[in-house]
Amino acid sequence: MKLDTRAMRHLAAEDWRVLTAVEMGSKNHEIVPTPLIEKLARLRGGVSGVHRSISALAKVGLIARVKEAKYDGYRLTYGGLDYLALHTHASRKDVYSVGNRIGVGKESDIMVVADHSGKQCVLKIHRLGRISFRTVKSNRDYLKNRNAQSWMYLSRLAAMKEYAFMNALHEEGFPVPTPLAQSRHTIVMSLVDAFPLRQISEVPDPASLYADLISLILRLASHGLIHGDYNEFNILVKEIKSTAEDGTESIVLEPVIIDFPQMVSMEHVNAEMYFDRDVNCIKRFFLRRFHFTPSQPGPFFKDAKKTVGKGGLKRLDATVEASGFTKKMLKDLEAAIKDKKTDKEGQEGANEDDDDDYDEDSDEDSEEEEGEEEEGDDEDEGEGRQEALLSGGLSEGLLSGEPAIDKANSEMAKLAV
């Protein structure tokens, strides 16, 4: 689904309370009973006020009534979860306005946003289950234990895990985007001026870039971590101008790592498999794209394992666990990722198992794909530098009620609190 923020400025405080009440009720109910919504919202206007808000929220697709349910109730949609996350970011002043979508992944949307100073950042919205919902007719067994609420829960876990690892890596000086904020299934991070590795057709020195990427794998391992999805889709390459002593200028390529929901510890039961897969992904890409083959074999997991924590290096796997991302959360998320990969292998073939490429977004709501009848539910991949993808510009304010200001033919809304 696409993020449409146009209705945000029109929601009253009572509407937000009711939407939050539906979210709270969703922790224990797939369909939240209407009486429970009334109880949790606690509006001064009483039951009639709650029903007015329910009608307003359903009209714009933030909640939905499921027909033929055993009782009268509503469920939270991904659109409703998006609005709650954006409302939190706006309240914390992390996000002031939302602009263009710059990427559509199999399980995430990437948006450009701006803070109150006008600085552009990236909003990543996790949407686990999207591909599975689209192929629901052939995946009934796969989805039998997954409902919309469980996918939202797993999307939250993916965002929490990614944010925790990004924080830990950033503090240790790894080349990653700067993590700025996290709410529910969303993360706000710095915008990196770089090319995705998959878009680069040639480099002046493949051996040097290859060495840098392998060094990052080994550096992660020494801190107790394996990326788990280390490929051309999750590596950006920055161009850094360098000036030699004689005044000669040259361009140095610097890799930046992104996408961390599948990162695992070097102590993981399948750590060797994940480590070898990351190494082989890079080798295969460099052979296919740059016709480059390293002169030395490896690196090997057994050698990398010996470097974990050596010399007093900080164990980042332990740091993330201490941050509050529990073992149960990790187990739940890993189980979903494992199921998703098993399904993907059957659908797409082994060569695309772990590609987090950006496909043209289908406008079909994943929840409609589930086959439920509901009331109230009334791009291409980016090319070139990420900043070039922002040529549409930003539009003003989502939440103020002020008219949007057109900049470079792009409408952008300001988030009202």
Token readout for 234 is: 């999750």
Catalytic residue list: 229
Same domain, 184 and 237: no
267-276's contacts with Cβ under 8 Å and 24+ in sequence apart are 267/224, 267/317, 268/226, 271/226, 271/301, 271/305, 272/301, 274/226, 274/228, 275/217, 275/221, 275/226, 275/301, 275/304, 276/301
Same domain, 45 and 153: yes
Identify the H or E element spanning 344. Answer: helix 327-348
Residue 329 has a pLDDT of 79
CA atoms within 13 A on the CB side of 102: 28
Task: With respect to residue 82, please indicate whether it lies within any of the assigned structural domains.
Answer: yes
- How far apart are the C-alpha atoms of 245 and 242, rounded to whole Å? 10
Same domain, 163 and 211: no
Task: With respect to residue 328, please indicate whether it lies within any of the assigned structural domains.
Answer: no
Task: With respect to residue 350, please indicate whether it lies within any of the assigned structural domains.
Answer: no
The CATH number given to whatever domain includes residue 239 is 1.10.510.10
DSSP annotation of 296 reads S
Task: With respect to residue 175, please indicate whether it lies within any of the assigned structural domains.
Answer: yes
Same domain, 97 and 148: yes
pTM, two decimal places: 0.80
What are the pLDDT tens digits along the chain (417 aa)? 778 899 999 999 999 999 999 999 999 999 999 999 999 999 988 899 999 999 999 999 999 998 888 999 999 999 999 999 999 999 999 999 999 999 887 789 999 999 999 999 999 999 987 654 444 334 333 334 456 668 898 999 999 999 999 999 999 999 999 999 999 999 999 999 999 999 999 999 999 999 999 999 999 999 999 999 999 999 999 999 888 888 888 888 999 999 999 999 999 999 999 999 999 999 999 999 999 999 999 999 999 999 999 999 999 999 988 777 777 777 778 877 776 665 555 554 444 444 443 333 333 344 444 434 444 443 333 434 444 333 333 434 544 333 222 333 334 556 655
Residue with tokens 């796997």, as numbered in its chain: 317
Residue 268 has a pLDDT of 93
Token readout for 50 is: 């709650």
Residue 163 has a pLDDT of 96
CB 8 within 8 A of CB 415: yes
In angstroms, what is the C-alpha Rg of the chain?
23
Out of 284, 316, 348, a domain closes at 316
Residue 357 has a pLDDT of 39
- How far apart are the C-alpha atoms of 130 and 151, rounded to whole Å? 9
Question: What is the three-class DSSP state of 101?
Answer: strand
Domain that holds residue 304: 195-316
Out of 263, 296, 316, a domain closes at 316
CB atoms within 10 A of CB 361: 16
Domain count, the chain: 2
DSSP string of 102-144?
A: EEEBSSEEEEEEE-TT--EEEEEEE-TTHHHHHTGGG-HHHHT
Same domain, 73 and 181: yes
CA atoms within 13 A on the CB side of 71: 10
- Residue 33, preceding peptide bond in cis (omega within 30° of 0): no
Same domain, 287 and 199: yes
- How far apart are the C-alpha atoms of 85 and 251, rounded to whole Å? 40
The CATH number given to whatever domain includes residue 129 is 3.30.200.20
Same domain, 65 and 168: yes
Question: What is the three-class DSSP state of 194?
Answer: coil
Same domain, 186 and 204: no
Same domain, 180 and 240: no
Q: Among residues 108, 113, 151, which one has the least CA distance to residue 5?
A: 113
Task: With respect to residue 64, please indicate whether it lies within any of the assigned structural domains.
Answer: yes
Same domain, 153 and 39: yes
